[in-house]
């Protein structure tokens, strides 16, 4: 089999080289067809590329390598441009940087980077920022020899002596938890594989709780208890989530008094609690699960504080005594409002801070327990503000982060009594960056049903709406996740070359509250795709761009968006980048052994139900590829992707090659060493961004 792989690959490389030498069209790899019948509900689909699911098949690997070779050949003439873009982006990154320290249990914690090194150092100082630095983890040395290396969670015991942290070296999000003695620097023999990476300490400094994953589906399914120094085989299962549509997790309350186990599906949550001082005791239910009842829990003083959708589509805030936690005992702190989405809260001794979304914009509401409430004001029309690290309970200081499409990420300390705000750090962008050279605003497209769809746009000042601006439209639109406008230095090469950059806040997110999400999921999912195309059409009609200069981009569920949108309106776009795209919706959602499938029935529907099957079939990108002209397409994936398996885009690309009727480029880049999030290093990701931008620029003749 290895000989077959080598022959296949070498023959393909020879073909490419011959094509290049003859200055002819570069031939793309052609995946063989092995028809497989997939039948359900009396409907049979023929999947000619199902065989590409075989991850261990050398012929599959050879095909993927041939796709990479084809991408290299097609993009070879842009290598100088890619190098220029790489250096351009890298030159804007501060080589030696440091995060804003936060205080916890007598120590200041932060991470920092050193010039030209790919990874960070996790550090702390005792008592004062003037104290001697203690390097807890030097990830650069730890990652030496690995193609991929990620730290997943780090937590310190209550006595500050032992560090627990997770490590993933494959990019499948399977972390092994290690324990480090911070006095000696030695690792304990305890090493716990197949976890989510985080460990939660009880207050006895020896007991930890962690989440165990299923090795095949990667579902977070068990909460285990480990006592440091004992065999892993003696670990105790304290909770098992039997329902395969749920996943489970564990955390500690801000007060450090309670350990909380959460269990969630798309629509329903359930929590249990344990006194962190008594890990030998049993977890107790907060409120038993009720279908479609969502709630989350923190503790302060004599109460559990609960954010919930109980009789409140946009959520409200409740509290309940520590000894009477079921919903019959909940009392209202902040009522439900139909025009305000309550997205989060922080509890302090003298204050409650609430994060709300009003008219699509995050706002911070300061509510003293005694005194007048108020909102923190900001100057820009479109921005993103969030609560940052707020671990102290008895304080007047609230820390928040602020960013916009023109303002680099900034961290502030805000005095809730005096209303004074102090800028602690703003992301430094090298190379003469000036935010005043750019402009951001919010505009609205009108969907086919009359709904106003918001877009956040940014461009260099002086842009004229003459229909001549290259434009990149970005979207996601699933899981209720909102792509808030934030700064990205990697976006500057676009803006500085005259691009308009736009984010389409389509239905399926929660930018306009919970109903916005409900209107873009399950049997309303088609709204997500038509909203995006309506945003694209608006940008053309309002003079921002033309279809000959309009590009679209999305990743994961946003890759599904790309595939569905170009099936519906391939004429709208000059080119599309589909990153790690979820494009084989029906087949994946019928296979419960694939990661994420069972937990997402409430998002997409369960195709074993006939009405969901046919609805999903109507938009699934892979199932709806047609014999027509498509825009230029770049697809990416990672061989070890844990969220969207590599074979989805592989099959999609193969089918597109076979059926599309145009001569536009279609390239497929597979990271053979990475997964869903791409490279783990600080600079490695720039190579892929440079390739994406070079692909876009090449379509409209930008050569430098």
Q: Which residues pair with 154 in a beta bridge?
A: 165
Tell me which long-range contacts 460-465 makes (C-beta under 8 A, separation of at least 24). Answer: 460/495, 460/496, 460/498, 461/436, 461/437, 463/439, 463/498, 463/500, 465/542, 465/543, 465/544
Neighbours of 38 (CB within 10 A): 13
Tell me which long-range contacts 383-392 makes (C-beta under 8 A, separation of at least 24). Answer: 383/407, 383/485, 384/484, 384/485, 384/486, 386/355, 386/362, 387/344, 387/346, 387/353, 387/355, 389/102, 390/254, 390/346, 390/348, 390/353, 391/102, 391/103, 391/104, 391/254, 392/103, 392/348
Query: Which H or E element spans position 240?
Result: strand 236-240
Neighbours of 487 (CB within 10 A): 24
For residue 278, what are the contacts with CB-CB under 8 A and spacing of at least 6?
A: none
Identify whether 195 is part of a domain: no
Identify whether 548 is part of a domain: no
Identify whether 560 is part of a domain: no
| The length of the chain, given as a count of residues | 704
Identify whether 373 is part of a domain: yes
* Two tokens, residue 247: 């996943």
DSSP class of 337 = B
Helix or strand or coil: residue 222? strand
- Residue 558 · residue 574 · CB < 8 Å: no
Residue 152 has what pLDDT? 87
- Residue 613 · residue 586 · CB < 8 Å: yes
> One of 478, 641, 687, 698 is an active-site residue; which one?
641
Bridge pairing between strands 236-240 and 162-168: unpaired
> One of 676, 680, 687, 698 is an active-site residue; which one?
676
- Residue 49 · residue 31 · CB < 8 Å: yes
Q: pTM, whole model, 2 decimals?
A: 0.90
Q: Is 171 a catalytic residue?
A: no
Give the up-direction half-sphere exposure of residue 196: CA atoms within 13 A in the CB hemisphere. 19
Query: Which H or E element spans position 192?
Result: strand 187-201
Residue among 360, 559, 315, 530 nearest 455 (CA): 360
Computed over every residue of the chain, the mean pLDDT equals 93
Alpha carbon dihedral 251, 253, 258, 262, in 10-degree steps, equals -40
Identify whether 396 is part of a domain: yes
Identify whether 613 is part of a domain: no
- Residue 579 · residue 245 · CB < 8 Å: no
Residue 679 has what pLDDT? 57
Identify whether 441 is part of a domain: no
Residue 681 has what pLDDT? 66
Residue 676 has what pLDDT? 56
* Two tokens, residue 510: 């929660």
For residue 593, what are the contacts with CB-CB under 8 A and spacing of at least 6?
A: 216, 217
Q: Is 641 a catalytic residue?
A: yes
Domain count across the chain: 1
| Cα angle 106-112-117, degrees, rounded to a multiple of 5 | 150
Domain ranges, residue 392: 339-429
Average pLDDT across each block of 10 residues of the chain; the chain has 704 residues. List them in order. 38 46 71 97 97 94 96 97 97 94 95 90 96 95 89 93 94 91 94 94 97 91 96 96 94 94 95 97 97 95 96 98 97 97 95 96 96 95 95 94 98 98 97 96 97 98 96 97 96 98 98 97 98 98 98 96 98 97 96 82 95 98 98 93 86 98 97 65 86 98 93
E strand map for 102-172: 102-104, 107-113, 120-126, 134-138, 150-156, 162-168
Identify whether 348 is part of a domain: yes
> One of 556, 599, 642, 680 is an active-site residue; which one?
556
Cα–Cα distance, 153 to 258 (Å, whole number): 19
Cα–Cα distance, 23 to 103 (Å, whole number): 62
């Amino acid at each position: 089999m290895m000989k077959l792989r080598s022959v296949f690959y070498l023959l393909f490389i020879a073909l490419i080289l011959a094509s290049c030498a003859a200055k002819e069209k570069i031939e793309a790899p052609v995946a063989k067809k092995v028809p497989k019948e997939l039948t359900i509900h009396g409907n049979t689909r023929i999947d000619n590329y199902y065989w590409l699911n075989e991850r261990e098949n050398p012929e599959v690997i050879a095909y993927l390598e041939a796709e990479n070779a084809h991408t290299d050949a097609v993009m070879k003439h842009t290598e100088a441009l890619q190098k220029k873009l790489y250096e351009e982006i890298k030159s804007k990154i501060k080589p030696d940087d440091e995060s804003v320290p936060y205080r916890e249990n007598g120590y200041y914690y932060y991470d920092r980077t050193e010039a030209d090194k790919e990874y960070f150092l996790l550090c702390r100082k005792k008592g004062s920022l003037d104290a001697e630095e203690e390097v807890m983890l030097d990830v650069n040395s730890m990652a030496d020899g690995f193609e991929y290396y990620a730290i997943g969670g780090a937590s310190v015991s209550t006595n500050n002596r032992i560090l627990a942290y997770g490590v993933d070296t494959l990019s499948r999000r399977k972390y092994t938890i290690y324990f480090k003695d911070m006095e000696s620097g030695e690792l304990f023999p305890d090493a716990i594989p197949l976890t989510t990476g985080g460990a939660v300490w009880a207050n006895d400094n020896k007991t930890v709780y962690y989440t165990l994953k299923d090795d095949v589906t990667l579902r977070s399914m068990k909460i285990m208890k480990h006592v440091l120094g004992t065999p892993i085989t003696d670990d105790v299962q304290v909770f098992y989530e039997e329902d395969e549509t749920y996943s489970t997790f564990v955390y500690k309350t801000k007060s450090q008094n309670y350990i909380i186990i959460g269990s969630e599906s798309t629509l329903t949550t359930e929590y249990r609690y344990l006194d962190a001082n008594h890990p030998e005791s049993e977890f107790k239910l907060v409120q038993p699960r009720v279908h479609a009842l969502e709630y989350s829990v923190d503790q302060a003083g004599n109460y559990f504080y609960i954010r919930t959708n109980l009789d409140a589509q946009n959520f409200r805030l409740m509290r309940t005594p520590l000894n009477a936690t079921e919903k019959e005992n909940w009392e209202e702190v902040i009522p439900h409002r139909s025009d305000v989405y309550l997205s989060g809260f922080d509890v302090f001794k003298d204050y409650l801070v609430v994060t709300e979304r009003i008219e699509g914009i995050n706002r911070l509401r300061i509510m003293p327990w005694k005194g007048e409430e108020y909102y923190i004001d900001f100057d820009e029309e479109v921005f993103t503000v969030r609560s940052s690290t707020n671990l102290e309970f008895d304080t007047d200081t609230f820390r928040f982060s602020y960013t916009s499409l023109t303002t680099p990420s900034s961290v502030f300390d805000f005095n809730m009594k005096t209303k004074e705000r102090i800028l602690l750090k703003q992301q430094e962008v090298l190379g003469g960056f000036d935010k005043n050279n750019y402009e951001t605003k919010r505009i609205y497209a009108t969907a086919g049903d009359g709904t106003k769809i918001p877009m956040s746009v940014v461009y260099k000042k002086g842009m004229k709406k003459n229909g001549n601006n290259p434009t990149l439209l970005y979207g996601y639109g699933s899981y209720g996740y909102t792509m808030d406008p934030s700064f990205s230095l990697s976006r500057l090469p676009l803006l500085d070359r005259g691009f308009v950059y736009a984010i389409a806040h389509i239905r399926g997110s929660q930018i306009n509250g919970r109903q916005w999400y409900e209107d873009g999921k399950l049997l309303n999912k088609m709204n997500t795709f038509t909203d995006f195309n309506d945003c694209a059409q608006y940008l053309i009609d309002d003079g921002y761009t033309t279809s000959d200069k309009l590009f679209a981009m999305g990743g994961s569920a946003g890759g599904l968006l790309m595939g569905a949108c170009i099936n519906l309106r391939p004429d709208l776009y000059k080119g599309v980048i589909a990153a790690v795209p979820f494009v084989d919706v029906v087949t994946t959602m019928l296979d419960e052994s694939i990661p994420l499938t069972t937990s997402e029935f409430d998002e997409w529907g369960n195709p074993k139900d006939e009405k969901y099957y046919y609805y999903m079939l109507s938009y699934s990108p892979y199932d709806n590829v047609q014999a027509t002209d498509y825009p230029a397409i770049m697809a990416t994936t990672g061989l070890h992707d844990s969220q969207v398996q590599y074979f989805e885009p592989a099959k999609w690309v193969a089918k597109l090659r076979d059926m599309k009727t145009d001569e536009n480029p279609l390239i497929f880049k597979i990271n053979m060493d990475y997964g869903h999030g791409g490279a783990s290093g600080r600079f490695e990701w720039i190579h892929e961004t440079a390739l994406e931008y070079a692909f876009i620029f090449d379509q409209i003749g930008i050569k430098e």
